[in-house]
Structures are given as structure tokens and as C-alpha cells.
Amino acid sequence: MSVADNIARVKEQMAAACLRAGRSRDSVQLMAVSKTHAPEAILEAFAAGLRLFGENRVQEFAGKRDALHGAGIFGEGGASVHCIGHLQSNKVRRAVEIFDGIDTVDSLGLAQGLDQAAMKLGKKLPVLIEIKIGTEESKHGLTPDGPELAPLLERMADFQHLELRGLMTVPPFADDPEQVRPYFRQLRVLRADLSRAYPNLKLDELSMGMSHDFQVAIEEGATVVRIGTAIFGVRSSR
Ligand SMILES: *Cc1c(COP(=O)(O)O)cnc(C)c1O
């Protein structure tokens, strides 16, 4: 199966999930997660019509970016690439240079650093706050009822160079996607609660759902699904 065939199949499945949930098809965006894959794979997905991409490592994407620039996929109506991996503070400046959005804001300090870097680069940077749902110790993100989320949300309006758009989560893995459904639902409920508590913040986006569980995520309200394997095939690492 080619990348284009895979994208067509994923899009059909997205449309079916929207139909089941009574949602309009254009309420969900497809992000192609191209980490570990070569620039050629990204160009195939671009040629098949995709414009939104996710990469999880600053250095890796910085390396691919020149090749992609050469192919002319950026600019007006072109590709956007978001950071979907944990961002270390020493890579913030580089990340703001190369990414069109940061979907993994998980501390007040990181938000401050991103705002500063975006100011220096004259950018307005779209961001999502990463929420940790479930109890896996290794996952990044802020817990819904932990002590750090409220202070971050309260300060968000001060960050003039950040544009908060919503929430993102990577729930615990389960073979059966139905077991992940409660976590997706929890993120949707959290967004509703936070929207009431912080009416001035825009929390439209819910980035949730990966290759094996995106249909359930759409049924539970995802506005962006992040798909790697189902588009590009199995990764040899990470
Ligand atoms: C790798 C990755 C994905 C894509 O995972 P697949 O199972 O390959 O679709 C989505 N989100 C994040 C944060 C990832 O790191």
C-alpha cells in the first residue's frame, strides 16, 4: 500500500467515525506524524493533499527541514509542522524557529520560554497544553487536578506571543481502543470544565487519537487526530 492509499483509507475511516458521532467531517483534521520517516515520505503525503504534520524531536526535524524547503512545500497554503514531543528548555529557541506550533506545553516555565522566543522571532505561536490522563508515570503533561494547571491557565493571557488553541493528550496504550475511550471522554469533559472556568481562553482544539484508536477519539470529540503508522507504516525505532 502506498502512502496515498493509506491516507485515503484513514480518511474514509475518519468520515465513518464522524458519521457515527453525528459530527461534520470538516470538524476533524488529520495530522500526519512523520517522525523517523524520510523527507520523501512527507512529500508523498503532501502530494496526496495533507498539510498538517507532526514531529517529536527538534534535531530530527531540523535535519529534514532543508530538504523539504528545497521541495517548496512551505509558505502560503503549504505545510505546517507541529512539535508533538516533549520539549526540553534548551531546545525552545530552535523549536520556535522551525515549528509552526507546539502541541506539548506542559509547564509554566516552558510557556514563558516559548513566549520569549516567539517574541524575539516576531512570531505568534499556536500552542496546545498537554494533559496527562491516566496514571502512567512515564508520560508527560499536566494532570487535570494537579497544582500546575490552574496557574498556567491563569497566566496564558499574559503571553502575547502565544495563541492557546486547546488541549492534547497521549492516553495509556491499550490493545482494545474501547479501553481508551474513557480517557478521551475525560479530556473532552475537562475542556468543557476549563472553558467554563476560563471563558476568555480559546480551547477549541482536542488533539487526541493515534493509528489504533483514532476512530474512538473522533467519536469522543477529537478535532485533530495524530496518525503515524497507519499512513507511513511501522517505524523501525521509537
Ligand atoms: C508517534 C506519535 C503519534 C503517532 O502514533 P501512531 O501510533 O504511529 O499513529 C501520535 N502522537 C504522538 C505524540 C506521537 O509521539
Provide the Cα torsion 138, 111, 58, 96; round to 10°. 170
Ligand 1 center to residue 210 CA distance, Å? 6
pLDDT at 227 over 60: yes
pLDDT band at 1 (very low <50, low <70, confident <90, very high): confident
Whether the CB of 227 sits within 6 Å of ligand 1: yes
Q: Cβ distance 185 to 192 under 8 Å?
A: no
Q: What value does the mean pLDDT take over residues 129-146? A: 87
pLDDT band at 167 (very low <50, low <70, confident <90, very high): very high
Q: Which residues contact 234 (CB under 8 A, 6 or more apart)?
A: none
CATH of 3-232, one of 3.40.50.300, 3.20.20.10, 3.30.565.10, 3.40.50.12780: 3.20.20.10
Q: What value does the mean pLDDT take over residues 27-52? A: 97
Whether the CB of 139 sits within 6 Å of ligand 1: no
Domains of the chain: which residue ranges? Answer: 3-232
Ligand 1 center to residue 200 CA distance, Å? 31
**Tens digits of residue pLDDT in 110-130:** 999 999 999 999 999 999 999
User: What pLDDT score was predicted for residue 238?
Assistant: 54
Q: What value does the mean pLDDT take over residues 72-99? A: 96
Whether the CB of 228 sits within 6 Å of ligand 1: yes
User: Within 10 Å of residue 32's Cβ, how many Cβ atoms?
Assistant: 28
Angle (nearest 5°) at CA 68 between 230 and 214: 20
Residue type, 182: P
Q: Whole-structure pTM over 0.95, yes or no?
A: yes
User: Which H helix or E strand runs over 194?
Assistant: helix 181-197
Whether the CB of 32 sits within 6 Å of ligand 1: no
**Nearest protein Cα to ligand 1, atom 6:** 228
